[in-house]
Amino acid sequence: MKERLQQLQQEALEKIAQASDLKALNDVRVAYLGKKGPITEVLRGMGALSPEERPIMGALANEVRAAIQSALEEKQAKLEQEEIEKKLASEAIDVTLPGRPVRLGNHHPLTRVIEEIEDLFIGMGYTIAEGPEVEKDYYNFEALNLPKGHPARDMQDSFYITEEILLRTHTSPVQARTMEKHQGRGPVKIICPGKVYRRDNDDATHSHQFTQIEGLVVDENIRMSDLKGTLQAFAKKMFGEDREIRFRPSFFPFTEPSVEVDVSCFNCGGHGCNVCKGTGWIEILGAGMVHPNVLEMAGFDSKKYTGFAFGMGPERIAMLKYGIDDIRHFYQNDLRFLQQFNRA
Ligand code: PHE
């Protein structure tokens, strides 16, 4: 029995030494120390021993068991350590490798111009209004003094969705919506930036989708001189302190009188160059005094209230400001174009 126990210890220690991973080690543990293992087996034969031998064998069996146990523990600690080291090695980061450059995005030039214009008008006490791009014929045309069949509707070829619904052709419907919300009470002082849609063939100066910024002020005693002063301040902030503006008579069904507004050329200062096509002036927006019909339709008393409105195209302003020669650059998202507007 003694030899058998010593032999078992020998065997177990060899197997423990050979075990190359934790699973193999556990197999050895189960095989030698388990309930059905050979040591238990041997101890079962103790009954056949003399009473003097029994405690001696018992003690020996315990020693063998303890020796196997401690060999197992030692090996287990070693294997676990190895595993941790392997894991650390595989997860090691070479901090000396050069980093990957992080490409910083930036605001789109149009966004930039729109935000600049927004800031400017917010500084003059305006708030920002918004309206839907999918708009009712009523707000896009009718409420703006363009009844069905009005010849001026031909000025804007529209994307109709149904007979009564279309993609807005300008941001002016937000005028009508905003006034309606005010329920006949002034003051109204808003600008509205947003996308608009027209059935144009895309080329260097036309796009089927572009942006506009609408402005609207309605209150008692609003006069054309207020419009002029406001746009003058805008032109100076946007294009330089020396800029002047001029009004030319024009026509929009929703304003009366209507004007087209020019700014003195920021390139040549008004002497005439290729930017202003030799005239010294550059057209930047359309504007006018809100037509009494428009005020009345939106619930304002046109005897008490007057107002002015203007509409401009951020694309055109960005093209002038940055010398961009093709409106399509704004929509193609060519990084070579966009990155020119990156600021540190
Ligand atoms: N909505 C007009 C356009 O798209 C611009 C405009 C707005 C004119 C407000 C006058 C007043 O051409």
Q: At what angle do helices 314-322 and 224-239 cross, to 10 degrees?
A: 40
**Per-residue pLDDT at 321 exceeds 50:** yes
What average pLDDT does range 216-241 have in this prediction?
95
Is 153 touching ligand 1 by the criterion CB < 6 Å? Answer: no
Ligand 1 centroid distance, CA of 51 (Å): 116
Domain boundaries, the chain: 2-90, 109-341
Residues in the chain: 344
Residue 329: per-residue pLDDT: 95
Residue 31: per-residue pLDDT: 86
**Exposed, middle or buried by CB within 10 Å (0-12, 13-18, 19+), for 150?**
middle
Q: Residue 259's closest CA among 231, 297, 217?
A: 231
Ligand 1 centroid distance, CA of 86 (Å): 71
The predicted-structure confidence for 193-217, as pLDDT tens digits, reads as follows: 999 999 989 998 899 999 999 999 9
Phi-psi region at 36: left, alpha or beta (left = phi > 0; alpha = psi -120 to 50): alpha
Q: Which of the listed residues 146, 169, 172, 209 should we mutate to test ligand 1's pocket, taking the one with most ligand atoms within 8 A of CB?
A: 172
**Per-residue pLDDT at 344 exceeds 50:** no
**Per-residue pLDDT at 294 exceeds 90:** yes
**Per-residue pLDDT at 303 exceeds 60:** yes
Q: How far apart are the first and last CA of the chain?
A: 86
Homologous superfamily of 109-341 in CATH? Bira Bifunctional Protein; Domain 2 (3.30.930.10)
